[in-house]
Amino acid sequence: MSVEEKLAALGLSLPQPVEPMANYVTAVLDGPMIYTAGAGPMVEGKPKYIGRVGAEVSLEQGYEAARITALNLLSTIKSRIGDLDRVERIVKVLGFVNSDNDFHRQPEVINGASDLFVELFGERGKHARSAVGTSNLPMNIPVEIEMIVRFKAD
From first to last of the 154 residues of the chain, give the pLDDT tens digit: 999 999 999 999 999 998 888 999 999 999 999 999 999 999 999 999 999 999 999 999 999 999 999 999 999 999 999 999 999 999 999 999 999 999 999 999 999 999 999 999 999 999 999 999 999 999 999 999 999 999 998 7
Whether pTM > 0.85 for this model: the answer is yes
pLDDT of residue 18: 87
DSSP lists the bridge partners of residue 33 as 30, 150
Name the 3-class secondary structure at 124: helix
pLDDT of residue 50: 98
Roughly what angle, to the nearest 10 degrees, separates helices 106-121 and 59-81? 40
Q: What is the Cα–Cα distance from 24 to 66, expressed in whole angstroms?
A: 22
pLDDT of residue 19: 86
Contacts of residue 67, Cβ cutoff 8 Å, sequence gap at least 6: 112, 113, 115, 116
